[in-house]
Each structure stands twice: as C-alpha cells, then as structure tokens.
C-alpha cells in the first residue's frame, strides 16, 4: 500500500493517510464505501478522530460581486480516539451516506461543466487538524432526474453549464445551504422568445421538487423577464407520461400565453416577497403541468416514478454547448 498523503500539519515523520473508495460513483440518497488507510510515523501518536466530508464549489454573492467558495456540506465521523503506534498500519472501513440534495456532477459519462465534488479526509492529532486533498466523486442523477434531462435533450436543448448558488428557494423544504442550477441554451423551436432555461432539483427520499426558470426575450408587445415553474415529483406516480411533451407544453405556454413573472397551468409566481436568483416571487395555487391541467396519476406531478431512462442518441448534441 502506497500512502500518498503525508500530513503536512504533523511534520516529517508524522502519520500518513490514504482514503480509497470502492467506487467514486454514487447517486443522491446512496452511499460511498471504502477504507481509510493509516500508517504510523516515527513515534506513536494519539489520534483524536478521523472524519470524512463531501466538499463542493458554491457561488456566493458578496455585495456587488460573486466569488467561489469550497463548502463542506456533509460530514461524518469515521473513527474516534485511538492510539496509532510507530509504523503501524490500520484500515478503517466506512459507509458514507450521500444526501438526497447532493448536486449532479455527471450524465451519461459526461462531466457537467462547472461542477466540482470530492470527499475529503480529516485527521486530528494532538489538537492539530489536517484536511487532506479531495478524492473526486461522480454523482449520477436519480432515474427520475435522468428522465427529465433526457426529455430536455430530446427537445433539442443544449447543455450550457451547471453551478451551485448559495441560498434557499422559497417554498421548498431545502436542507443544504445551496441549490444547483443546470443551464440550457433554448432549443431552436423556442429560441425566438427564450434565451435560456435553468433546471433545479431538490430531492428527498419520497419526492423531489422541480423548479424551472425560463429567461424570456422581450417582444414588440410583450415584456421579457424570468418565468418560473415549480412542481412536486412523486417517485411512485406518473411513470407513463411523455415528459418531452409536458416540457414542450410548458415552454409553449410561457412563450405564447403568459407574461414575464407567471408560469402556466395554475403555478403563478408574483413579484414582491421572496428571492430566487435575484427575482422576487411567491407561490400561487398548485396544479399539474401539461395541456388540460393535470398529469394523469399525479395530483401535483411534473415527473414521477423511478423509471430508468434509456441512453439517448442525441447526447453529443446535448453537450455541444459545454465550454
């Protein structure tokens, strides 16, 4: 075993550590497993604790500017206090639960431009704490999330970038201090009225919230601005819906029927109360998304059912906009 991470905080001759994942690939709500390998240095040391933390990069607004910050958003202890003898080698197995709201970093083997995710090992000895390097982690979408992303690709949207915004979305039971925005260039059939569309997932064990934001161009007689849609996804329902058709219906309603600041089919967001990405709104009434009002089998569903999406032929075009 090669111990690649000499802990700088403990000096030459101190202990070393290496974290080895069984697999760096996971899903929201899943887990990462592996072992933390420790090797004693030249003298015995008393280890106070070993901990692991998921770390990602978040955009934080600070006055008139934004900056990136690396945020540890989930942390678990791996081992408590123990004595590590000189030259001793010890393996500490772990099971690291991945939060349901963990942002997606990869899709169909393609990394989402703008995303950073890693597992960091922390070792504390004699009140000195060493936070090691990040071991890269790949977060794949849940099947329901994959179905939505697949529908965007089928409609001709091109992926632009993804990022994490610091803050909370009004009306959503969000536990992490940030949310992911997956940005798309508008598909050709909507590009005359819409610049970009942003997609946000906030998942939990039973359902997920799906938030859509369309950046609408101004027209000769109609204003531009952002149009929002917020729908609840029940995993166990709405598994037979044509999601490309549903998204297309929402987009066409945004373009043709609704002024900026409103979303179709009973989901209205008005200016004046809460903030989402710099725009104020509050919730109106609930309802389904799609022509006629509600999706069959889901009282408030945009997409549901843990249905595996097939690999799409259009994946190359989907990532064409990646920078």
Q: pLDDT tier at 66 (50, 70, 90 boundaries)? A: low
Distance CA 212, CA 233 (A): 13
Task: Evaluate whether 317 touches 108 at the Cβ level (below 8 Å).
Answer: no
**Which one has a higher pLDDT value, 178 or 235?**
178
Q: pLDDT tier at 72 (50, 70, 90 boundaries)? A: very high
Smallest CA-to-CA distance from 284 within 292, 294, 274, 297 is with: 274
Is residue 198 over pLDDT 90?
Answer: yes
Cβ density class 272-299: b for 16+ within 10 Å, e for less:
eeeebeebebebeeebbbbeeebbebbe
Is residue 191 over pLDDT 70?
Answer: yes
**Domains recognised in the chain with CATH numbers:** 5-139 (2.60.40.640), 143-318 (no CATH)
Is residue 241 over pLDDT 50?
Answer: yes
Cβ-in-10-Å burial (0-12, 13-18, 19+) of 167 comes to middle
- Residue 4 CB partners (closer than 8 Å, separation 6+): 16, 18
Task: Evaluate whether 251 touches 227 at the Cβ level (below 8 Å).
Answer: no
Whole-number pLDDT of residue 228: 86
pLDDT per residue over 132-182, tens digit each? 778 999 999 998 899 889 999 999 999 999 999 999 998 899 999 999 999
Whole-number pLDDT of residue 320: 52
The residue written with tokens 């179709």 in the block is 264
Whole-number pLDDT of residue 220: 42
pLDDT per residue over 8-65, tens digit each? 445 557 888 999 999 999 999 999 999 999 999 888 999 999 999 999 999 887 655 5
- Which tokens sit at 164? 């994490």
Distance CA 92, CA 122 (A): 13
- Residue 64 CB partners (closer than 8 Å, separation 6+): none
Share of the chain above pLDDT 70, in %: 70
pTM of the model: 0.76
Q: pLDDT tier at 278 (50, 70, 90 boundaries)? A: very low
Whole-number pLDDT of residue 98: 98
Task: Evaluate whether 303 touches 288 at the Cβ level (below 8 Å).
Answer: no
Is residue 293 over pLDDT 80?
Answer: no
Is residue 238 over pLDDT 50?
Answer: no
The residue written with tokens 């022509």 in the block is 291
- Residue 186 CB partners (closer than 8 Å, separation 6+): 157, 194, 195, 196, 197
Task: Evaluate whether 135 touches 146 at the Cβ level (below 8 Å).
Answer: no
Is residue 305 over pLDDT 50?
Answer: no
Whole-number pLDDT of residue 295: 29
Q: pLDDT tier at 257 (50, 70, 90 boundaries)? A: low
Whole-number pLDDT of residue 90: 96
Cβ-in-10-Å burial (0-12, 13-18, 19+) of 265 comes to buried
- Which tokens sit at 24? 């760096």
The full 3-state SS of 118-155, as one line of letters, equals: EEEEEEEECCEEEEEEEEECEECCCHHHHHHHHHHHHH
**Which one has a higher pLDDT value, 119 or 108?**
119
Lowest mean pLDDT among 37-41, 88-92, 266-270: 266-270
Distance CA 32, CA 186 (A): 35
Whole-number pLDDT of residue 112: 95
Mean pLDDT of the chain: 76
Q: How far apart are the first and last CA of the chain?
A: 38
Is residue 89 over pLDDT 60?
Answer: yes
**Which one has a higher pLDDT value, 210 or 5?**
210
Whole-number pLDDT of residue 129: 82
Task: Evaluate whether 96 touches 35 at the Cβ level (below 8 Å).
Answer: no
Whole-number pLDDT of residue 63: 58
The residue written with tokens 């799906």 in the block is 210
DSSP per-residue letters across 263-311? -STT-BEEEEEEEETTEEEEE------STTSSBTTBTT-SS-S-PPPPP
């Amino acid at each position: 075993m090669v111990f690649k991470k000499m802990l700088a905080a403990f000096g030459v001759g101190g202990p070393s550590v290496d974290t080895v994942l069984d697999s760096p690939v996971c899903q929201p709500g899943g887990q990462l497993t592996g072992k933390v390998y420790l090797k004693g240095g030249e003298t015995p040391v008393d280890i106070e604790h070993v901990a692991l933390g998921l770390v990602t990069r978040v955009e934080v607004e600070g006055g008139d500017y934004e900056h990136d910050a690396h945020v540890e958003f989930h942390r678990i202890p791996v081992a408590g206090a123990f004595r590590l003898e000189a030259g001793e080698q010890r393996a500490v197995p772990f099971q690291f639960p991945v939060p349901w709201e963990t942002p997606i970093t990869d899709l169909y083997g393609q990394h989402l431009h703008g995303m950073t995710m890693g597992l960091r090992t922390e070792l504390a000895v004699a009140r000195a704490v060493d936070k090691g390097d990040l071991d890269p982690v790949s977060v794949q979408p849940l099947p329901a999330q994959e179905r939505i992303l697949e529908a965007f690709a089928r409609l001709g949207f091109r992926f632009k970038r993804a990022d994490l915004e610091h803050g909370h979305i009004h009306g959503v039971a969000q536990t992490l201090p940030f949310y992911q925005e997956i940005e798309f260039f508008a598909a050709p059939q909507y590009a005359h009225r819409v610049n970009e569309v942003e997609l946000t997932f906030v998942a939990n064990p039973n359902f997920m919230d799906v938030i859509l934001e369309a950046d609408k161009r101004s027209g000769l007689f109609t204003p531009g601005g952002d149009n929002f849609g917020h729908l609840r996804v029940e995993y166990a329902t709405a598994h037979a819906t044509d999601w490309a058709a549903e998204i297309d219906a929402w987009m066409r309603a945004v373009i043709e029927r609704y002024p900026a600041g409103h979303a179709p089919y009973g989901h209205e967001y008005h200016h004046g109360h809460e903030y989402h990405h710099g725009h104020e709104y509050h919730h109106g009434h609930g309802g389904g998304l799609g022509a006629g009002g509600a999706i069959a089998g889901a009282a408030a569903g945009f997409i549901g059912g843990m249905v595996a999406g097939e690999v799409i032929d259009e994946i190359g075009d989907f990532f064409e906009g990646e920078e």
